[in-house]
Amino acid sequence: MTPAEATAPQRVTTPLLHGVNTLLDTPLLPLTDDEIIDTVHDIEHARRILDAAEHRVLVQVCERSIPDKTGTGTLPKFLMHTLRISHRDAAQRNTAVTELGTFHNLHGDQREPQHPETANALAEGAICAEHARKISEILKKIPRHTLAEKYVAAETALADYARTVHVDDMSKVGAKLLSYLDLEGPAPDHRERQRRRGLHLAKPGVDEMARLTGDLTPELTALLEPVLAKWARPGMNNPDDPDSPRGDCEHVDRKAMVAAASRDTRTTAQRNHDAILALLHPETKVDHLGTHRGLPVELILTMGIDQLEEAAGVATTATGGTVPISEALALAAHAKPYLLIFDTHSQPLHFSRRRLASPDQRRVLTATLRGCSRPGCDAPASMCAVHHVTEWARGGPTGIDNLTLACDACHALVNDGPNGWKTVVMDRTSDYPGRVGWIAPKHVDPHQRPRVNHRHHPDELITEARETRRRENQTPPHPTE
Ligand SMILES: [Zn+2]
């Protein structure tokens, strides 16, 4: 402790500052790698709960009208003047307090925060301030006509989800959640979509490049995505790489493709472009292309029996897209697509083919899992390989119960080493019996809890959120202050 600290009056924050100073003075060289990793975790945890603590204090600043008393007028201005922080930082903290702070009514009773589950998660150190900001951004996009109950369920779902995923992944799951919420409401207007459909190829500019823009119907999107998934896969049809395999990824040497993928530096947009180029190129063998002319390459539609009966909601495609049920039924009327219907408990009820031969197992996995099964991964089923939970070499059966989908990147993470991920079949007592759970290495998840991937199942997030709320409403609230 410095002499200045020793003479400073004791404040509520004195132990906090003392603790941080101790950390600053502690020699770190003697610590083991594991201890350093733990320290990284602890500092982040402290930063998060410190944000929650700051919200409590800033609520006091607001409720005591301190900005008025100091002549700054508003909380952001007060923060900018007293802390010398940027306008942007002040605005973000102001929003955070408004949404996550526990304010009081005129009688002094606590009011629930606007985003209560996000506030709880932050106060537990389970999410960071940026997670909370992403949740706020996503919630702002929820249509005004949405029922309050659904809004609450969405907030709970997002806060739950944020506890296990990267900040960068929040927007993607948010988009899925929103499309799910949106489409639960008024049915999407088929006529409006038909009116807006279009593909516009502009005249080439001075650089001889032509701009292609358009609005594709869900039907065309559902047919185009599987083609791009195969032809635009990393490593495929790369004009800059003479050894890059041509055609669709299912009919080429896999080793050559993986090797080409490791050299592939193209963006997704560039790969899509090259895929169309390869598809239309005169050198592409017609008989080879012929297998794709009768599109879809492979279209797997999944829907719930309740959705089917009501002919409302969305079906999911193997490439992670959604198609309104009415259009999905129109597609399914043709022989090519595979249609898998679930009962209300998400158990497969009907598959458009009876015998479960190996390709059919893959189709069932595609329809059930919709994508990579590692928590947080958003690779669609079309980018995944079938993964044995218990390896064949160790006596694992090839039965569907022992199989899951994993994308190449996630598949490579599975190993028995200390930094490897493990996969297990979730037991009967879990919320997702029979699904494959992933256990992160110790430095990611010290508790070693198996988790399933909700990324491709926004409906599960909502159901889980409703359950959480129901359980919370049954237990009496505990005093937090
Ligand atoms: Zn993955």
What CATH number should be reported for the domain holding residue 360?
1.10.30
**Same domain assignment for residues 38 and 109:** yes
Would 323 be classed as within a structural domain? Answer: no
275 neighbors 228 (Cβ within 8 angstroms): yes
For position 307, what pLDDT does the model report? 61
CA of 372 to the centre of ligand 1 (A): 5
Residue range 23-38: average pLDDT? 95
CA of 384 to the centre of ligand 1 (A): 7
**Same domain assignment for residues 234 and 161:** no
pLDDT above 90 covers a percentage of the chain that reads 33
CA of 95 to the centre of ligand 1 (A): 34
**CB-hemisphere CA count at 13 Å for 162?**
30
For position 324, what pLDDT does the model report? 72
For position 295, what pLDDT does the model report? 32
Residue range 336-343: average pLDDT? 57
Tell which of 140, 169, 184 closes a domain. Answer: 184
For position 353, what pLDDT does the model report? 40
Encode pLDDT of 367-393 as tens digits: 778 889 998 888 888 788 888 887 756
Would 197 be classed as within a structural domain? Answer: no
Residue range 179-192: average pLDDT? 59
Encode pLDDT of 387-401 as tens digits: 888 775 666 665 667
Domain containing 138 equals 12-184
CA 176 to chain CA mean position, Å: 8
CA of 401 to the centre of ligand 1 (A): 19
Number of domains in the chain: 3
CA of 133 to the centre of ligand 1 (A): 25
Would 110 be classed as within a structural domain? Answer: yes
Residue 131 pLDDT grade (very low, low, confident, very high; cuts 50, 70, 90): very high
Q: Is the pLDDT of residue 315 over 50?
A: yes
CA of 408 to the centre of ligand 1 (A): 7
Would 156 be classed as within a structural domain? Answer: yes
**Same domain assignment for residues 59 and 156:** yes
**Same domain assignment for residues 109 and 154:** yes
**Same domain assignment for residues 227 and 84:** no
CA of 166 to the centre of ligand 1 (A): 14
CA of 45 to the centre of ligand 1 (A): 27
CA of 41 to the centre of ligand 1 (A): 24
CA of 444 to the centre of ligand 1 (A): 16
- Smallest CA-to-CA distance from 243 within 224, 272, 227, 264 is with 264
Tell which of 266, 293, 320 closes a domain. Answer: 293
**Same domain assignment for residues 390 and 270:** no
CA of 281 to the centre of ligand 1 (A): 32
Residue 116 pLDDT grade (very low, low, confident, very high; cuts 50, 70, 90): very high
Taking CA atoms, 94 is separated from 54, 78, 87, in Å, by: 11, 10, 10
- Helical H segments across 242-390, by residue range: 254-263, 268-280, 286-293, 305-310, 325-332, 358-369
Encode pLDDT of 252-274 as tens digits: 888 888 899 999 999 999 999 99
Would 164 be classed as within a structural domain? Answer: yes
State phi, psi for 424 to the nearest 5 degrees: -140, 155
**Same domain assignment for residues 80 and 135:** yes
Pairing of strands 314-316, 403-407: unpaired
CA of 409 to the centre of ligand 1 (A): 6
Q: Is the pLDDT of residue 293 over 70?
A: no
SS3 236: coil
SS3 384: strand
Tell which of 160, 184, 208 closes a domain. Answer: 184
Q: What is the mean pLDDT of the chain?
A: 80
CA of 371 to the centre of ligand 1 (A): 8
CA of 258 to the centre of ligand 1 (A): 16
**Same domain assignment for residues 38 and 177:** yes
Residue 231 pLDDT grade (very low, low, confident, very high; cuts 50, 70, 90): confident
**Same domain assignment for residues 260 and 405:** no
For position 72, what pLDDT does the model report? 93
CA of 366 to the centre of ligand 1 (A): 13
**Same domain assignment for residues 153 and 24:** yes
Name the residue with higher pLDDT: 91 or 8: 91
For position 292, what pLDDT does the model report? 33
Would 86 be classed as within a structural domain? Answer: yes
For position 296, what pLDDT does the model report? 38
**Same domain assignment for residues 177 and 273:** no
For position 321, what pLDDT does the model report? 65
CA of 318 to the centre of ligand 1 (A): 14
Would 124 be classed as within a structural domain? Answer: yes
Q: What is the pTM assigned to this prediction?
A: 0.58
pLDDT above 70 covers a percentage of the chain that reads 74
Residue 250 pLDDT grade (very low, low, confident, very high; cuts 50, 70, 90): confident
Residue 7 pLDDT grade (very low, low, confident, very high; cuts 50, 70, 90): low
Would 51 be classed as within a structural domain? Answer: yes
**Same domain assignment for residues 30 and 160:** yes
CA of 453 to the centre of ligand 1 (A): 10
